[in-house]
Amino acid sequence: MKNWRIAAQSIIIFLAIYTIVGLASVIPSDVSAATVTNGTISEERYVGQKTEMSNPASPLVTPHGKIPHQIVFALPLRNDSKVWTGTVTFTASKPIEIEVLHNYKPRSVIDTEHGEPYHATLPNNMTVAISTMTMFSDTPVKLTGTPISTGSLQFTGSALVFHKTRGEPFTVTYTVDAVTRTPNN
């Protein structure tokens, strides 16, 4: 009787281990982007960590006679009516601004009394309103005494851009964790 109990317990333990190992083999071990659908909510997640050198912005968006701005797109401009929302942490070799771009499509004509937000028309004829984050400019680092930009922020918009208006090239290292969402227009 005692041997029968030991045999039964051994079989139960074997089946439990077999079930756990079998389930573990069908679960992906390396997921960097995922789509989650729940009723009407659909999200795509992007997590990235990069070091990039800036490039001149298109001459089409640089005012005539001005030095081209330097830019790095951390998240590309969306043209599918979805927005990015997430967090970015960064450090840059020089003082820079962070810009969050938003699709700019006023539902009615904006009058002069109210005024228009800062915006630009891009080379693809898409117009974007621009939220310029300057709170990270000229952050002195005690170790080097050199002004740089470093920080972390939450954002929501159609694109995320590191930007230098004076045209000086820069390098930026950043980590971004973002999902796409569809606005409730």
What would the mean pLDDT of 90-99 be, rounded to a whole number? 93
- Alpha-carbon distance 111 to 95, whole Å? 35
pLDDT of residue 63: 62
pLDDT at res. 143: 66
Q: What mean pLDDT value characterizes the chain?
A: 78
Q: Which of 73-82, 115-124, 140-149, 159-168 has the lowest mean pLDDT?
A: 140-149
What pLDDT does residue 154 have?
Answer: 97
Q: According to the model, what pLDDT value does residue 65 have?
A: 63
pLDDT digits (tens, 9 = 90+) for 123-134: 888 999 999 988
Residue with the bigger pLDDT between 21 and 95: it is 95
Q: What is the pLDDT of residue 19?
A: 32
Q: Residues 52-65: what's their mean pLDDT? A: 79
What confidence score (pLDDT) does residue 138 get? Answer: 66
Percent with pLDDT over 90 in the chain: 50
Average pLDDT (83-92) is 97
The domain defined by 31-181 folds into: Jelly Rolls (2.60.120)
Share of the chain above pLDDT 70, in %: 70
More confident residue, 164 or 146: 164
Taking only the tens place, the pLDDT of each residue in 17-52 is 333 333 333 333 333 444 444 444 557 999 999 999
The whole-model pTM stands at 0.72
Using pLDDT thresholds of 50, 70 and 90, give the confidence band for residue 166.
confident
Query: What are the structural domain ranges in the chain?
Result: 31-181
